Structure 1
Amino acid sequence: MKYILLLCAGLLLMQGLTAQQKLDVLYFKNGSVIRGHIFETAHETIKLENRVKDTLVINKSELDSTKQEIVAPKITPHGFYNIDEGGLQFSDRKGSVWRCIVGYRFAYQYQVGVGIGLDDYQARSVPVFGDFRYDFNKAERTFFAYAGAGKALPWLTKNQWQLQNSREPDENVAGTYTHAGLGYKFRWQHNSAFHISAGYSYAAFKTKNAILDWTTQQPLGTFTTTEYSFSRVTVMVGITL
């Protein structure tokens, strides 16, 4: 329950940070229009900071009307991006997961990248994967889908390998890694965004220990193999830059 509450608090914070930007729009009697932020209003004048950060002093008698308008974030059709995200994994136990993804965005809504992570769930591993993401629309807030596949490289902690063997593995064998899910994105400037997502991840790998001659303690050329396979529900929070 505490993890759910933390995630909900993070979601509320993201909504506050990504609140829609508003501009003051001033319509003049001569037909001119100026957009910016009014920061001081006097009896006869208005002080406004325009979009290039100049301060303007405007006589109210020159104005026809004023209003506010919402400025949507500028979404570029293509470009490189970086995603950093972290979260929790749940199955019969819980663990943590962190991912860093770099890639290229094209046609506004499609993103293809490669990533590396740290998957610490019962037996730690390092996933290396390709990643695909799709934004459902170009709006400031949008649902998105993601999926990825690659290899899970075993990197057990001392406590983890001691549960299975009396010594550190002699060989680590990479296995399958996949993830997929749905999320919700909050853009705040250009293609920068916060997101929260939920999905599924799977990792499988092996470790091997050489069998030793009990008298000489020399390897006999055979191994004992420990296989690991994990299916988890994941909940992630991240940022795109």
Structure 2
Amino acid sequence: MEPVKPKHLNPFAAAFLERLQGQSQAEQFVLGGYFALKHYLDYRETGDVDAWWRSREDPHALAAAREAFMQTAAEFGYSVRERTWGETISLEAFDGGNKAFSFQVSVRTVEIDPPVASPWGRFPIETLDDNVASKMMALVARGAPRDFVDIKEIVDSGLLTIDRCWQLWNAKRPGIEIEDARLRVKMHLATIEARRPIERIPAAERPAAERLRAWYRDVFTARRDELGPGVGDVKDEDLRQ
């Protein structure tokens, strides 16, 4: 599936990428995260652009990104902060005290596909498979609400099946068994449910929340053979390390 530039983009993101896309240093950043997913499935907004280093951290590319970021922030009247934790560098634009946009770049661990050309000049972008594999890793590791929503949207859209999502997770060499991964997803879901019970969700949003939670409990984290004949074409043993 070829990536397509989303119709609805954060104005700062578009301005920043357009400023940097013609420079050779842009080749060192692989667009990833939900921003990359928007090029395959554009269904929600984001104020972040996540990226991976093409091979390793490149100080010249980082300097070019900083300059483009500062210039774009000046045009928007935003202030700029930079944070670093672990192997992640985050350039952040603030409108007063509110963060308006961030560009984060990290060192990639496991890449299952080489990146492909993007609609943004010299920037490469993750393939759909590589992007979803990373999203699956995040779902199992942290289980943020947006991870649950994104994977459900990917499956509902018909881009990938549940089996394919788990195959891609396994391709990242996660180091745990599929049964443990499913249990972790259920634990993350239980944490979300405890923190935000259905009765505290606005009435108009409750049916969708209930469907999402039931789908993860009863379908996404179920063994394939628990779903009955014809539902899923991958056996659990195929997903084990």
The TM-score range, normalised by the shorter chain, is under 0.3
Flag the structure with larger Rg: 1
TM score, norm. by length of structure 2: 0.22
TM-score when scaled to structure 1? 0.22
